[in-house]
């Protein structure tokens, strides 16, 4: 049990993703080598809002744009799914919460027009 806790502590510091069958040398497990992999992750420099020059907070009235950043159950998508920089992710989240608070956007399900586009025949009228 004590060894299991120790392995969890080590796994928190492993930034390199090891696949089955990967060959590694003992120095690959050192802290200096792991820090190289930590910095190797690319951070997004620009996202959709930066490229288009749009402020996401001002788009709270745009239902179709805001619904792209929500799940079908009404939750705000994670930045790993949206690909937005942290600043714009927070602005999108604020715009979505503002639209839900004003009643412009449903908070628990997709709008029928969005369902019609995504599911085709079932909701088509």
Q: What is the pLDDT of residue 56?
A: 94
111/28: higher pLDDT: 28
Fold classification of 48-119 is 30s Ribosomal Protein S18 (4.10.640)
pTM recorded for the entire structure: 0.55
Q: What is the 3-state secondary structure (H, E, C) of the chain?
A: CHHHHHHHHHHHCCCCCCCCCCCCCHHHHCHHHHHHHHHCCCCCCCCHHHHHCCCHHHHCCCHHHHHCCECCCCCECCHHHHCCCHHHHHHHHHHHHHHHHHCCCCCCCCCHHHHHHHHCCCCCC
Lowest mean pLDDT among 19-33, 62-76, 88-102: 19-33
23/38: higher pLDDT: 23
**Over 70: is that where the pLDDT of 119 sits?**
no
Q: What is the pLDDT of residue 92?
A: 96
């Amino acid at each position: 049990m004590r060894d299991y806790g120790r392995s969890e502590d080590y796994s928190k510091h492993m930034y390199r993703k090891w696949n089955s069958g990967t060959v590694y040398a003992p120095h690959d497990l050192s802290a200096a080598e792991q820090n190289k992999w930590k910095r190797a992750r690319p951070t997004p420099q620009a996202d959709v809002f930066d490229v288009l020059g749009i402020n996401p907070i001002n788009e709270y009235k745009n239902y179709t744009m805001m619904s792209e950043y929500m799940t079908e159950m009404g939750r705000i998508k994670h930045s790993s799914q949206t690909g937005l920089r942290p600043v714009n992710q927070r602005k999108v989240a604020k715009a979505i919460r503002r639209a839900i608070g004003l009643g412009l956007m449903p908070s628990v399900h997709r709008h029928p027009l969005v369902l019609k586009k995504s599911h085709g025949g079932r909701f088509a009228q």
